Structure 1
Amino acid sequence: MARRARGTSAGLDRERIAVAAVALVDRDGLERFGVRRLAEELGVDPMSLYHHVKGKAALLDVISEAVLAEVVAVPEGAPHDWEGVARRTAHSYRAMAYRHPRVFPLLVTRAQTSPVALAALERLVSAMRAAGLPDRVAADAPMVLFGFLNGHLLACTGSGPEGPAPVPEFDPDAYPGMAALASRWAGFGSVAEFDRMLGIVLDGIRGQAPRPA
């Protein structure tokens, strides 16, 4: 791709940079991502990017924010109770992770403090407080929920395309407990398994609510 000379208008803005950066990581992975490679992809001089984004670390934040924007949109008629908000957010987050498995590790390894990320957390904790959950629970719950989501989805998206993994096999003499449970792990990575595990997390949060006198 022909590159514009330094100092000429590149027609860039943050949105165009974000779209190209996400597409580049989706295709080639984070290991090969950098300012120069992105500039080549856009056909501009690397210095043109610095007018909009100050270096690689800032670019990684732009990428994170771009994929998180896919999660926060609230469809018309979506539930507003805290469990409904948590379930919708979790499933939208899962879908995003499978769309962008090479980008997803950024969300796990970097602090997410963009307005997009904070808006999603605000929606969740506000719904929890409105439901009467103690502030201590509302403060801890997002950490618990996203701890589960990040760990589970990192394991699932790192193993290949979406879909259940093969049933694991264990030597029943060496690992009798694991062998007895092996069939229970047949749906690893499936939506059904995700729903089941998400339910355990939400049940735990719900159990911290004050009980009626």
Structure 2
Amino acid sequence: MATAADSGDPLPVESSVWLAARPAAPARRRSEAPSGLDRERITAATVRMLDAEGLARFSMRRLAAGLGVTAMSLYWYVDTKHDLLELALDRALGELALSAGPAPEGWPGRLRALARGYRRLLADHPWVAPLTAAYPNIGPHARAFDAALQRLLDATGLTDPARTGAHLAVSQFLHGCGGTARRAPEGDFCLALDVLIAGIEAKATA
């Protein structure tokens, strides 16, 4: 089954699993649901399979086989494969350390730490980068990541429209590095990050 990531077409925001209201199943149907399964277990298994086999080989049938259930059993907990991939994406983003405390180097130090952590995440989970481009990224961990970035930009002293430009520049830099997370040497990445930070500092003091 092709995904939005396969086709290159982003999933519409209104189709996001985070906006879908899941009605409660009738009591009789709940009693028929497969035992030992829940969304958390299914999502964790999805992350493990994507890490091990990649996005191209992922399917609901293969996931179900790994869990020892039928493919139809998974649909008690998610409506579509898209839903499950969105859940897995946000779970992976939850691995980021989003410290809001002070850093010895102020906001530049915190931004460096955030960017390096994001780069490590993309290297550990290569499937995250294409899913980030394909899905709306409005899950709780994605929102927490953006809130952390917004707090960093608050500390720069920039005001609109410069602040908006800085947010776009940092977001594009972090998301764009996904394609080269495994190939670009650490030194090159850090140099590019230093240039980006220097540009924001120059704009803030202008």
Per the normalisation by structure 1, the TM-score is: 0.72
Superposition deviation, residue 145 in structure 1:
1.5
Equivalent residue for 2:185?
190
Q: Secondary structure at the match of 1:207?
A: helix
Gap regions ≥5 residues in structure 2: 1-30
- Max Rg structure: 1
Correspondent of 1:40 among 62, 65, 69: 65
What is the match of residue 109 of structure 1?
134
Residue aligned with 2:136, SS? coil
2:180 and 2:57 mapped to 1: Cα distance? 21
1:135: how far off?
A: 3.2
Greater RCO (Cα-Cα under 8 Å, separation 6 or more): 2
Secondary structure of the structure 2 residue equivalent to 1:209: helix
TM-aligned CA distance change 1:104 to 1:29, over 3 Å = same
Corresponding letter in the other structure for 1:91: R
Q: CA deviation at 1:70?
A: 0.9
SS, match of residue 91 in structure 2: helix
Aligned equivalents of 1:149 and 1:136: distance in 2?
A: 20
Matches within 5 A, 1:150-189: 150-157=175-182, 189=184
Give unmatched runs, 5+ long, in structure 1.
1-5, 160-188
1:141 aligns with 2:166: yes
Whether 1:16 aligns to 2:11 is no
Deviations along 1:142-185, whole A, 9 cap, x unmatched?
3212312232331343x5xxxxxxxxxxxxxxxxxxxxxxxxxx
Of residues 45, 48, 53 in structure 1, which corresponds to 2:78? Answer: 53
Q: CA RMSD in A?
A: 2.5
Number of aligned residues: 176
Greater displacement, 142-151 / 87-96: 142-151
